[in-house]
Amino acid sequence: MINFDNVSITYADTTTPVLHRTNLTVPEGDLCLVIGATGSGKSTLLKAINGLVPHFTGGTLQGRITVNGRDTATHRPRDLADVVGYVAQDPLSGFVTDSVEEELAYTMESLGVPPSVMRQRVEEVLDLLALSHLRNRAPRTLSGGERQRVAIGSVLTAHPRVIVLDEPTSALDPGAAEEVLAALQRLVHDLGLTIVLAEHRLERVLEFADSMIYLPGSGSPARIGSPEEIMDSSPIAPAVVRLARLAGWSPLPLSVRDARRHAQSLREEIALAPSSAAAGLPLQQERSIDVVDAEVRYGGTTAIAHVNLSASPSEVLAIMGRNGAGKSSLLGALAGARRLSQGSVRIDGVPPQSLRGQQLVRSVGMVPQEPMDLLTYTSVERECAQADNDAGVTHGHTAQLLALFAPEVSAHDHPRDLSEGQRLALALAIVLAGKPRVIVLDEPTRGLDYAMKTRLASHLRVLATAGHTVVLATHDVELVADVATRVVVLAEGLVVADGGVAEIVLASPIFAPQVAKVLAHGGLAEKGIPLTPESVADILVAR
C-alpha cells in the first residue's frame, strides 16, 4: 500500500537530510507506528505519504514514494485526498467551518460525495467517536481532546484507504484515547484500512501496532520491523518495556497483560524487600496558592464551580480529569488569564490579575496548551532574547534553559518550523526564565519524546526542591507517577478527589501507571506498589 524506495528529503538551508535513504513498505491493513526522538523526522515522513512534502512544505525529495500505486512526486495532496486522510498535530489549524457537523462533512463536499451518503457517514462518525452531543458546537470552542476527535472524524467520513495521524492521542484523556485507538483498530481489522501514526505515548498504542518504523534522526536510515524487533533495541520505550528489561523477561512483553504473566517472581522480590516509608514533604504553614469558591463561566457554560484549593511551596500538584473537566480553565484562573465569575484566586496573597511586568513574570508563569500562543517572533534567538529582557536576567539565560530540554533546536529556527515538542520546550524555557514562584503547565508533555520528558521531570523536581510550586494539568499518568507529590481530580468543574499520588492513581485503572498494573496482585488499591520502573530498580538495589 505504501512504499518508500531509497527516499531522502532535505529542506532548504540545511545540508543534513531529515530522511536519508529510507526504504520501507507498509502493507495494506497494517497499523504502523512511527517512533523517534523529537525532531527526528516523524512529521516529515507522515506528510510525505500524502504529498504535503515536498509540494506544500518545500524541500528536495529524492527517491520514489508510492501510495496505492500513485507516485506522490506527480500527485499533489489534492490528487491523493480520496486515498490518504491526514490528521495533523494541531487540529485547530485545519478547521474551516463553524460547527462539528459541518467539519465532518467538509472533506466529502470537496470530493463530491452525494448528500445522502454524506448524512449517513456523518452520523456514523458522530457515534463512533462519541461526538453527537457536540454536533452543533463550533470546533474552536471545544477542548483540546474534543478537537482531536473531530479532526480524526473529518478524515474518517471520506472513507480513505490510508489514514495518517500525527500524535492522535496527545491531547486526549486516557479513556478517550482508548476509545479512539479502539476505533482505529476496528477500521484496520474490519475494513482493512492502512493506518500510519506517530505517537510519543507508546504505553497507549504499542499493543495495537502490527509494525513499527523507528527514526534514529541525525540522517541515519529508518528501521522497520515488528514491534518486538524494534523494542528489543530501541532507546525509546514505554514503562512496561523498561520494566521488562530491568527484570530480564523474555520474550519482551509489549502490553500490561503480557507483562503480568512474567511478574510473579518480581512481585515476590518486592514483597521481601525492606519497607521504607516515603519521606514526603514537610508540613508547611505557608501557602503559595489559595483558591476560594472559584467559578469560571463561558456564557451559559460553567467551566469550574465552587473550587477550593491551596498549595504550598515545593509541591508538584497534578490536575487530572476527563477532557472538558475544567483543568485548563482552572490553570488559566491561577495565572490570571481567566476572569472569575465568583470567588478569588491569590498567588502569595496577591490576585494574579493585579500583577504587571517583572512582578508578574516572577510570581506566576503559565505554559498554555498551545505553545504558539506565547511565541510571536521570527526566530528562536529573538524569542529567547525577549524572554531575558522580560525576566530581567542575563542575556543567554533562556537559551541555556532551552538547551536543557531541546539541544537540537537552532537559534536561527523559526518557531513555526519547530515540531510540537520543540515549540513546547521553547515556551517552557521562556516561562521558566523568570523563575516564577508558581509554575503552571497545561499538558506539558504533549509532543515530547521520552528523553525530553525525563529532562523536564528532572527540572521540575529541581524547581520544587528550590521552593517553587508546580501545578500541571495532564493526561500523562506516567509523568504524574514520576514527578507529582499530590493529585487533584476534576469532573464537570468540581474537585472530586484530592490526595497523595498513590492514593489517587491507584483508585482507578484509568489513572494507574503501567508498572502498578503489572505488579498489582489482588487489586490496584494494594499499598506499597511501585509506580515507575525507577522505583522498582531502587527497591531491588536496596535488597
pTM score of the predicted model:
0.85
Residue 489 has pLDDT above 60, yes or no: yes
213 by DSSP, 3-state: which? strand
The confidence band for 277, taking pLDDT boundaries of 50, 70 and 90, is very low
Give the residue with greater pLDDT, 179 vs 428.
428
Q: What pLDDT digit, counting tens, does each position of 33-48 carry?
A: 999 988 888 989 999 9
The C-alpha cell of 192 is what? 482493512
Question: Higher-confidence residue: 298 or 102?
Answer: 102
Assess whether pLDDT exceeds 50 at residue 427. Answer: yes
- Answer yes or no: is pLDDT of 279 > 50: no
Give the mean pLDDT of 482-496: 95
* Alpha-helical segments (H) within 13-83: 42-49, 52-55
Query: What is the rounded CA–CA span in Å between residue 407 and residue 440?
Result: 23
pLDDT band at 84 (very low <50, low <70, confident <90, very high): very high
pLDDT higher than threshold 60 for residue 541: yes
Higher pLDDT, 318 or 406: 318
Does residue 421 carry a pLDDT above 90?
Answer: no
Say how far apart CA 179 and CA 185 lie, in whole Å: 10
CATH number given to 2-235 = 3.40.50.300
205 and 184 in contact (C-beta within 8 Å)? no
Least Cα distance to 468 among 443, 498, 435 occurs for 435
Q: Where are the domains of the chain?
A: 2-235, 237-272+521-543, 289-512
Phi, psi of 255 (to 5 degrees): -135, 160
- What is the structure's pLDDT at 162? 95
The pLDDT score that the predictor gives to residue 525 is 60
Give the mean pLDDT of 404-422: 88
> Domain 289-512: which CATH class?
alpha beta
Q: What is the pLDDT of residue 273?
A: 73
SS3 category, 36? strand
Judge contact between 158 and 82, C-beta under 8 A. Answer: yes
Question: In this structure, what DSSP letter does residue 283 have?
Answer: P
Across all residues in the chain, what is the average pLDDT? 89
- The per-residue pLDDT for 144 is 65
Highest mean pLDDT among 167-176, 253-262, 534-543: 253-262
pLDDT of residue 313: 95
276 pLDDT exceeds 70?
Answer: no
Q: How far apart are CA 64 and CA 414, in angstroms?
A: 29
pLDDT of residue 451: 87
The answer to whether the 2-235 and 289-512 domains have the same CATH topology is yes
DSSP letter (8 states) at residue 53? H
Cell match 510550586: residue? 469
Mean pLDDT, residues 261-290 taken together: 74
Give the cell for residue 185.
Answer: 483498530
> Is 81's pLDDT higher than 90?
no
Which pLDDT belongs to residue 221?
86
Instruction: Please say if the pLDDT value at position 442 is more than 80.
Output: yes
Task: Note every long-range contact of 350-358, with CB atoms under 8 Å and residues 24 or more positions apart, other chains counting.
Answer: 357/390, 358/390, 358/391, 358/392, 358/434
Per-residue model confidence as pLDDT tens digits over 159-195: 899 999 998 888 788 887 887 888 888 889 888 899 9
- Is 387:430 a contact under the CB 8 Å cutoff? yes
Q: In terms of Cα–Cα distance, which of 516, 520, 518 is closest to 501?
A: 516
Question: pLDDT grade, residue 117 (50/70/90)?
Answer: very high
Q: Is the pLDDT of residue 268 over 90?
A: no
**Is residue 417 predicted with pLDDT exceeding 60?**
yes
Q: For residue 526, count other CB atoms closer than 10 A to its CB.
A: 13
pLDDT tens column, 364-402: 999 998 888 899 999 999 999 999 999 999 999 999 999
- pLDDT more than 90, % of the chain: 62
CA distance 205 to 225: 16
The pLDDT score that the predictor gives to residue 452 is 86
